[in-house]
A = this chain, B = another copy of it.
Amino acid sequence: MTDIKTASTNFANKQALAEECPEAYASNILGGQWTLVICSWLLEGKLRFSELKKRLPNITERMLSLQLRKLEDNKMISRTVYPEVPPRVEYELTTIGYELKPIIKALEDWGSRHKATMEEA
C-alpha cells in the first residue's frame, strides 16, 4: 500500500487483468482488508475519522488512514476538512461509491448463504 514497484511482474499482471476484466478491476479497488467494511458503514451516512475508528475496533490508525486515502484516490469517498481545532474530517461516499450498495448487499447475502453451505459439511 505504501510503495508499490511498478516494474514488478505482479504489478504488470494486475494492470493487464484490470484492463481486460472489469471484475478484476473492481476487485483491485475493493480488495483491501477493511475496504468493504468501511464502505458498508459509510452507506449509512458520512462519518468522521474517529467515528470510523470506533466502528472498526481492531484497525490501527495507520491502516484506516491508508485505506481512506486509497478510497479517496479511487474517488470512492470524499473528504471534508473543517478548519477547526482539534481537527474534524468527514468522509462520505461519492456517487460511484454509493452505487456499490446493491453489490455490498448481494455480497452480504451470498456470504451468509456460503457460510451456511460450509457448515453443512
Whether A25 contacts B115 by the Cβ 8 Å rule is yes
> What copy number does this chain have within its complex?
2
Give the interface size class of chain A. 35 or more
Per DSSP, are chain A's interface residues mostly helix, strand or loop, or mixed? helix
State which residues 10-42 of A face B: CB under 8 Å. Answer: 10, 12-14, 16-17, 21-27, 29-31, 33-37, 40
**Does A88 interact with chain B (Cβ within 8 Å)?**
no
Min CB–CB distance A39 → chain B (angstroms): 8
Which chain B residues lie closer than 8 Å to A25 at the CB level?
Answer: 111, 114-115
Among A45-53, A77-85, A100-108, the one that faces the other chain is: A100-108
Whether A96 contacts B117 by the Cβ 8 Å rule is yes
